[in-house]
Amino acid sequence: MKTKIVEGYWICPKCNTRCRGADQDCDNCGAVRTADVKFHLDKNAPAISDEKDLALAKAGPDWICTFCGNTSPAGEENCTGCGSLRSDGNWRPSDKKPDNLPETADSREEREKEAKIETTATLAAKKPATPARPLTRNEKLGCGAFLFVMLVLFIINCFEKPGRIEIKQTFWERTIEREQLQATRDSDWKNRVPKNAVVIATSSEIRRYEKVSDGFEEVEEEDFELAQVDTKEHEETVDLGNGRFEVKTWSEPVYEKVSKGTKLVTREKFRKEPVYDEKVVYDILDWDYIDKVVASGSNSPPQWPDIKGARHDPPQKGDIKEYRRKEQYWIEAVMEGKNEVFDFDELNFKPLTAEQFNQLQPGTKWDAVFSGLGLLLRIIRPDGKPL
């Protein structure tokens, strides 16, 4: 790579004169080269060889005085126009700034801005999540009223009332859910058939093909070589911000595959050979839910329904078995001295059991305890114990 530094030029915005890049004001009319004046590069400009000029070019971009707008070279600590301090000025824009440039107003501002962004980011990370919306006054009142009603009902319900009941009618319903051993048909290669499968049929089928060597053959093949066909020139220019440019140039060889004719090559030949395996058709037996059978009655002893199905050992396809049982009992009764009929299927919030149900025969009379809200809590046996 070759690097050279050349002087650019600028066009005076007042009189259109082409001025030398390093000049800070126009030769013709004396106008100052202001911050918005652009530098241009002349392709044929000679490289700067003078040591002093080179040092000035590499010193950094010019700076603009914020008081008089005059431009001064990087090395000047005071404005060449009014003598103000460089630390109050701004650097001209440039593609490359030396690392050890002294601070100006704009570079200081940039540094402070970066520090501020960092602090803001840290603060944002620490900020806690937004708190939940507080309840409105009406919502609070509503909640309070609801809780109060619940509390009153709870207290009323705590007072127990004795009574005497007569059983009028009884009802029961018993259910059995049924499962049947059913077969699902499938097929797969022998090594992938599940262990509990019942084999229905097998057959020999092609499972895959194998690449088998089938001798050698001579073939003609085009022969290539890499050859340099061109050279690509690259150029990169860097605006130094002081009327000079750094110009980097380098060349890159371009290669291409070029045919050299043909050559004879010995190649191995292959053919595809089928590999056979055993394919199996099988059944998998599984218990599946099918339906439920129900028995029900009134004023009679409860019975379980017949599940109506064969059962073999070991089980066979079509066998039926019980999956789950459910039972439900409810009773109609009257309070002694009243005609009003009420029914219940729970005692103290638990479903009636078959044992309780069998004792509560129609026509029998029982002492009972009700809650403050009229729920049946207990039925008392003649020996004084709860049923």
Contact set with Zn ion (CB under 5 A):
12, 14-15, 17, 26, 28-29, 31, 65, 67-68, 70, 79, 81-82, 84
- Sequence-distant (≥ 6) Cβ neighbours of residue 185 within 8 angstroms: 200, 281, 282, 283
Tell me the C-alpha distance between 356 and 329, whole Å. 9
Minimum separation from the CB atom of position 28 to Zn ion (A): 4
Minimum separation from the CB atom of position 84 to Zn ion (A): 5
Q: State which residue, 170 or 242, has the beta carbon closest to Zn ion.
A: 242
To the nearest 10°, the Cα dihedral for 204, 205, 207, 209? 110
List the one residue out of 298, 333, 347, 377 whose CA is nearest residue 166.
333
Minimum separation from the CB atom of position 38 to Zn ion (A): 15
- In this structure, are residues 322 and 174 in contact, taking their beta carbons and an 8 Å threshold? no
Q: Is 378 exposed, middle or buried (0-12, 13-18, 19+ CB in 10 A)?
A: middle
Q: State which residue, 29 or 341, has the beta carbon closest to Zn ion.
A: 29
Q: State which residue, 25 or 332, has the beta carbon closest to Zn ion.
A: 25
Q: State which residue, 11 or 375, has the beta carbon closest to Zn ion.
A: 11
Structure tokens of 35?
A: 């911050």
Q: State which residue, 24 or 175, has the beta carbon closest to Zn ion.
A: 24
- In this structure, are residues 386 and 380 in contact, taking their beta carbons and an 8 Å threshold? yes
Please report which residue ranges of the chain form alpha helices under DSSP H.
51-58, 105-126, 137-158, 354-359
Place of tokens 């059962």: 311
Minimum separation from the CB atom of position 23 to Zn ion (A): 10
Minimum separation from the CB atom of position 12 to Zn ion (A): 3
Is the peptide bond prior to 301 cis by the omega test (within 30 degrees of 0)? Answer: no
For 171, other C-beta atoms within 10 Å of its C-beta total 18
Q: State which residue, 19 or 165, has the beta carbon closest to Zn ion.
A: 19
**Phi/psi of residue 2, nearest 5 degrees:** -110, 135
Q: State which residue, 84 or 356, has the beta carbon closest to Zn ion.
A: 84
List the one residue out of 19, 17, 73, 38 whose CA is nearest residue 9.
19
Minimum separation from the CB atom of position 32 to Zn ion (A): 10
- In this structure, are residues 335 and 344 in contact, taking their beta carbons and an 8 Å threshold? no
Q: State which residue, 10 or 171, has the beta carbon closest to Zn ion.
A: 10
Tell me the C-alpha distance between 179 and 373, whole Å. 44
Minimum separation from the CB atom of position 91 to Zn ion (A): 15
Total length of the chain: 387
- In this structure, are residues 26 and 17 in contact, taking their beta carbons and an 8 Å threshold? yes
Minimum separation from the CB atom of position 6 to Zn ion (A): 23
Where are the strands (E) in 129-243, listed by range?
Answer: 161-189, 197-239
Minimum separation from the CB atom of position 105 to Zn ion (A): 13
Q: State which residue, 13 or 372, has the beta carbon closest to Zn ion.
A: 13
